[in-house]
Amino acid sequence: MLIDDVYNEVIPESIKNRRNISESKLSDSEIITISIVGEALTIDSEKAWFYFVKKNYSDLFPNICHRTRFNRTKRNLYKVILEIQRYFSSLPIFSDDDTRIIESMPIPVCKFGRAYFS
């Protein structure tokens, strides 16, 4: 419920009412909620997390869509998720905190170019 409230407060109408949104099986806030919980639990596999939710939380998300559509929509909502994160980090309960957690994805920065392995 919290994500849905923030989504409705901070996201522009142009995004909320985009083309074909009425045909979606899951709302944006449901997709964002599932994604945030998966990240909070540090589950690396999108596929494994999706099927876990589909199997164990079908009562909460009875109209869950296909995995590829879920992941595609989740990636398209990246900027929306950032706005929601900004909203939460600006709340007074977090503003006096000296510690911040930056959620990121590891990126390979170099490869072995000269090493020889036999």
How do residues 37-78 score in pLDDT, each as one tens digit? Answer: 888 888 888 899 999 999 999 999 888 888 988 898 888 888
How do residues 1-34 score in pLDDT, each as one tens digit? Answer: 688 888 888 877 777 777 777 777 888 888 888 9
Contact 33, 3 (CB under 8 A): yes
pLDDT at residue 9 in the model: 85
Q: What is the rounded CA–CA span in Å between residue 65 and residue 31?
A: 10
pLDDT at residue 56 in the model: 93
